């Protein structure tokens, strides 16, 4: 009110504002280019791109908390502490393994001339050199050497070297988290950690080199924007191999083949975990634009985030409407997995402007996941958190759907799905089998009945609770399951 009175008592102010407005309008008419946003300077773009990598990477890292909450709520309380141990352990192992060897195998000098037995295999894998660090130009800039300036750094790339490494590293941790949840409640801690090391240091970087690293699948035109196959299906295949080798939990399947219900111990924790994953996924997909130095990048990131959100929401609703008919009940657990399936499905190609396709892709992903939950029960595969339907099945669908939304070649997408599936499953199965034959991948029957918290960690997640013994399942235990335990 006071501002209006001041403007009215100062007669010059309205005249000045009017003159300024007319001058601006004339300038825009005479020089239309002035009305358009100008691109930022190179150094400013460098700062924006680097900051983008770091912020998006931090969001993806936060997904580890989401996986932890989802898994601890899905298992029985006697195994919750072990889930916490595995998740913080796998993130640490992934970070070190990817720093020491993984990143170099995935990105450095892929496509070089490397002859083995007369064949050029340079487009299969990067270099086996150890560790990764800032470039010489960046180090010189930090140390303020004579003649050092930002120009040398800006000429190398549009972002800080280690910001890119950090963003790529949190992706590999996500792959390992998928395996953790599927095999919960019966896999030995150290066996799991050894497998995680193999997955993050060699298996995932190999797949990454073929695709994002510029290898042979990338040369064929394989498309996977943020990793429906490269990240999620890779984790799903690795988990499936482990599920087959280790077998289901004790008492999960009866003699008649039916599955005994094992409801989550804390559905509130599971729900919170899914919301955290949904939130972190915005960084997962949005950051995969790999730049934020122009108006075009900003628009594409906005589109990617909207499509990601639409797809997840669609997956939720389809799982809600179909779970009663497929699973025999309106299943909140299936609905939550529907959200994850929608997120996984859109991850391969969220960069398109016809947003209704995001709804369709997420809906089909939610349906596939819900059917997949039922299918795994039928074939007696005990996936505690539904990781295989949500990450593997939906990941395959999303990768193939890229042929619809962004014009990827269907036969190339299918080839990538098949080759990556065979490779990851084959190597993972061999690693799990070797672990089972040496260290034993599975805990003893006594530890499984008592719980891994007390049996392996010698602690309780909820010490004020009374530990309830497991019922004796011998009378109706499936003979095949009994052999595995």
Model-level pTM? Answer: 0.87
Stretch among 139-153, 162-176, 373-387 having the lowest mean pLDDT: 139-153
Evaluated on CA atoms 95, 96, 97, 102, the torsion sign reads positive
Average pLDDT over residues 381-387: 96
Q: If you count them, how many residues does the chain have? A: 485
- Residue 20 belongs to some domain of the structure: no
Region of residue 454 (phi > 0: left; psi between -120 and 50: alpha; otherwise: beta)? alpha
- Residue 90 belongs to some domain of the structure: yes
214: tokens are 């510029």
- Residue 33 belongs to some domain of the structure: no
- Residue 4 belongs to some domain of the structure: no
Tell me: the pLDDT tens digits for 225-243? 999 999 999 999 999 999 9
- Residue 9 belongs to some domain of the structure: no
- Residue 249 belongs to some domain of the structure: yes
Confidence bin at 97 (pLDDT 50/70/90): very high
Q: Is the pLDDT of residue 17 over 50?
A: no
- The reported pLDDT for the residue numbered 255 is 86
**CA–CA dist 85, 192 (Å, integer):** 11
468: DSSP letter: P
Residues of the chain above pLDDT 90, percent = 74
What residue numbers bound the domain in which 160 lies? 43-455
- Residue 8 belongs to some domain of the structure: no
Average pLDDT over residues 132-141: 88
Q: Is the pLDDT of residue 118 over 70?
A: no
Q: Is the pLDDT of residue 21 over 60?
A: no
Residues 6+ apart with CB under 8 A from 229: 211, 348, 395, 396, 398, 399, 416, 417, 420
Residue/partner pairs of 252-256 with CB below 8 Å, 24 or more apart:
252/382, 252/481, 253/380, 253/382, 253/477, 253/478, 253/481, 254/476, 254/477, 254/478, 255/476, 255/477, 255/478, 255/479, 256/476
| More confident of the two residues 155 and 45 | 45
The number of domains in the chain is 1
Tell me: the pLDDT tens digits for 44-72? 999 999 999 999 999 999 999 999 999 99
Average pLDDT over residues 287-315: 96
Tell me: the pLDDT tens digits for 461-482? 877 776 655 665 555 555 555 5
Average pLDDT over residues 147-158: 74
Tell me: the pLDDT tens digits for 167-204? 999 999 999 999 999 999 999 999 999 999 999 999 99
CATH number of the domain encompassing residue 438: 1.10.3430.10
- Residue 183 belongs to some domain of the structure: yes
């Amino acid at each position: 009110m006071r501002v209006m009175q001041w403007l009215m008592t100062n007669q010059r102010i309205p005249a000045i504002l009017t003159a300024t407005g007319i001058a601006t309008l004339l300038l825009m008419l005479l020089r239309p280019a002035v009305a358009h946003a100008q691109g930022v300077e190179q150094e400013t773009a460098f700062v924006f791109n680097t900051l983008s990598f770091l912020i998006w990477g931090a969001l993806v890292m936060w997904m580890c908390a989401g996986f932890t909450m989802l898994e601890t709520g899905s298992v029985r309380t006697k195994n919750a502490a072990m889930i916490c141990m595995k998740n913080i352990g796998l993130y640490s192992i992934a970070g070190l393994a990817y720093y020491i060897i993984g990143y170099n195998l995935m990105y450095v000098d892929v496509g070089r001339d490397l002859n083995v037995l007369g064949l050029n295999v340079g487009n299969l894998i990067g270099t086996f050199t150890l560790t990764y660090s800032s470039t010489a130009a960046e180090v010189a800039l930090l140390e303020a050497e004579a003649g050092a300036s930002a120009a040398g750094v800006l000429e190398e790339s549009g972002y800080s070297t280690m910001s890119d490494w950090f963003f790529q590293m949190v992706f590999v941790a996500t792959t390992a988290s998928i395996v953790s949840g599927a095999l919960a409640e019966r896999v030995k801690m150290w066996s799991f950690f050894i497998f995680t090391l193999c997955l993050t240091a060699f298996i995932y970087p190999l797949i990454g080199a073929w695709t994002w690293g510029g290898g042979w699948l990338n040369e064929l035109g394989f498309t996977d924007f943020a990793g429906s196959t490269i990240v999620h299906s890779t984790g799903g295949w690795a988990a499936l191999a482990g599920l087959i080798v280790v077998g289901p939990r004790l008492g999960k399947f009866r003699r008649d083949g039916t599955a005994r219900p094992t409801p989550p111990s804390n559905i509130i924790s599971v729900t919170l975990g899914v919301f955290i994953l949904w939130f972190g996924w915005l960084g997962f997909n949005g950051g995969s634009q790999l730049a934020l130095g122009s108006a075009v990048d900003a628009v594409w990131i906005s589109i990617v985030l909207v499509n990601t959100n639409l797809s997840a929401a669609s997956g939720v609703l389809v799982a809600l409407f179909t779970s009663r008919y497929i699973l025999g009940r309106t299943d909140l657990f299936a609905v939550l997995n529907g959200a994850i399936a929608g997120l996984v499905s859109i991850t391969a190609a969220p960069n398109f402007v016809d947003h209704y396709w995001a709804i369709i892709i997420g809906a089909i992903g939610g349906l596939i996941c819900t059917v997949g939950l039922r299918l795994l029960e039928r074939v007696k595969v005990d996936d505690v958190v539904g990781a295989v339907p949500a990450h593997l099945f939906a990941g395959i669908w999303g990768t193939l759907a890229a042929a619809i939304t962004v014009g990827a070649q269907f036969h190339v997408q299918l080839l990538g799905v098949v080759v990556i599936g065979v490779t990851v499953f084959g190597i993972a199965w061999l690693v799990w089998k070797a672990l089972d034959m040496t260290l034993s991948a599975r805990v003893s029957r006594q530890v499984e009945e008592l719980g891994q918290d007390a049996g392996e960690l010698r602690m309780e997640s909820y010490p004020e609770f009374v530990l309830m013994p497991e019922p004796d399942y011998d009378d109706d235990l499936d003979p095949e399951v009994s052999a595995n335990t």
